Amino acid sequence: MNSSLLLASSSPRRSELLKQCHIPFTVFSSDVDETLHENQPVEEAACTLAKRKAEAVAKQFPQHVVLAADTIVSLNGEHLGKPKSKEEAKYMLQTLSHRTHAVSTGVAILGQDRSVLFSETTSVTMTTIGESLLERYLQTDEWVDKAGAYGIQSLGALFVSEIKGDYYTVVGLPLVKTVQALSSFHIYPNIPS
């Protein structure tokens, strides 16, 4: 292991965000059950999944600090996870079209003697998504492995007309709050002087 920080996520977006902040880390993704209680509030659900992921990796590497996150898209309390098919992705995007939804990212950081658990929520308003653009979008793989079938940092940005809150929460890791929390574990950005 190159770093005392383990990122319990295979998300390339989360890795890119940590690299952007010059935080050294090693990826060690976890494969956990993502089943949730049916009416669990979205922020609580995101934290529950993040904690499960962090705990799974921390059990294997108790001497490391483990960072995990989970992002959930919700509309009127209904959770929209990662679509399992192109048809499901189409349904999700049609449902989100011309509406405002919530994107919540839960973050769990576990160390040898302490833990931090928090969530951030950002409000995202979609433009009216035309049928032609939607069909062209679905021909790409942009919707795959993304909550709500879109990523704001890529082609999904074509659908977003407004956000209220932290942009990075929508990408998958609220940066400011995460970096502040990591500092309490003595993990800091490695910025060259």
HEC readout, the chain: CCCCEEECCCCHHHHHHHHHCCCCCEECCCCCCCCCCCCCCHHHHHHHHHHHHHHHHHHHCCCCEEEEEEEEEEECCEEECCCCCHHHHHHHHHHHCCCEEEEEEEEEEECCCCEEEEEEEEEEEECCCCHHHHHHHHCCCCCCCCHHHCCCCCHHHHHEEEEECCHHHHHCCCHHHHHHHHHCCCCCCCCCC
Give me the catalytic one of 31, 70, 113, 166: 70
Q: Is 145 a catalytic residue?
A: no
Q: What residues are annotated to the active site? A: 70
